[in-house]
Amino acid sequence: MTTALPVALLDLDGTLMDSASGIAASVRHAYAQVGLPAPAEAVIRSFAGPPITWSFTTHGVGAEQLDTAVAAYGTHFSDVGVWDTRVFDGIPEALVALREAGVLLVVATAKPLRWAEPICAETGLTPLLDHVVGAPDDESETKGEIIGRALAWVRGTVGEAGYRAVMLGDREHDVHGAAEHGVPCLGARWGYGGEDELRTAGAADVLASPAEVPAAVLARVTG
C-alpha cells in the first residue's frame, strides 16, 4: 500500500515574503503612466498577491489602458520593485520543519516566474523549496490556473504514490483558486488580505503567525 505524499502549495507575496513596498511603488508608477490618480494606500497594498490585471481593472483602469498599465508596472518592477522585499520572520524555520517532515514544498504565485525565481534565490528561499510555479509574463492566468499547473507538476513528480495537498495563502484568490482543485487553504493572517477576507472566502483555518504553519500543514496532509 502506497502512502500519499504530503504537499504544501505556497503563495509568495504576503505569505512567504513581504513585498508590499516594492509592488506599491510600481503600481503608483503605472497609474501615473496612464494619467490616472493612484488609489488610496490601503488599496495599493491590496495589489500584492492577486494577478495584476485583476487588480488594475478592479481599481479603475479601463480596458483601453490596461496593456499600458501592465507594461509600465512590469518595467518599473523589473528595474526597482522586485528587489524591495524581505522574507517574513519565521518562514525559513517553518519551511525547514516541513521539509524535515517529508512535505513537498511548491510555490504557486501570481508573480511572473521571471521575477519569482530570482527573488526566491536572492532571499535564500530556493534551497528550502522543491519547485516554483509562477504566472506567465503577461500575468493572464487566474490563481486557479496557476495552482492547477503546480498540481500537474506534483502529479508528474509523485507518480502513482499520489498526494495530499494544502494551500497556504493570504488572499481570497488563494482560497478560491485552491478550492477549484478540491484543495483546502490555510490563511496567512500576517499577509495582506486580513482574517475577515480569508474566512469569508472559506479558508479552512487562519493562522496568526508563521510559527503555526508546520503543525497546521501537517494536520491537513498527514495521518
Strand order in the sheet with 205-207: 131-135, 104-112, 5-10, 163-169, 185-188, 205-207
CA 44/CA 73 separation, integer angstroms:
13
Q: What's the DSSP call for residue 211? A: G
3-state SS record for 2-70: CCCEEEEEECCECCCEECHHHHHHHHHHHHHHCCCCCCCHHHHHCCCCCCHHHHHHHCCCCHHHHHHHH
Q: Is 139 in contact with 52 (CB distance < 8 Å)?
A: yes
Q: What's the DSSP call for residue 171? A: S
The owner of cell 490563481 is 143
Residue among 165, 168, 206 at smallest CA distance from 185: 168
Residue among 34, 16, 10, 5 at smallest CA distance from 163: 5
> Burial, 1: exposed, middle or buried (Cβ in 10 Å; 0-12, 13-18, 19+)?
exposed
**Candidate list 11, 13, 170, 174, residue with the active-site label:** 11
User: Would residue 18 show up in a list of annotated catalytic residues for this protein?
Assistant: no
Give catalytic residues, as residue numbers: 11
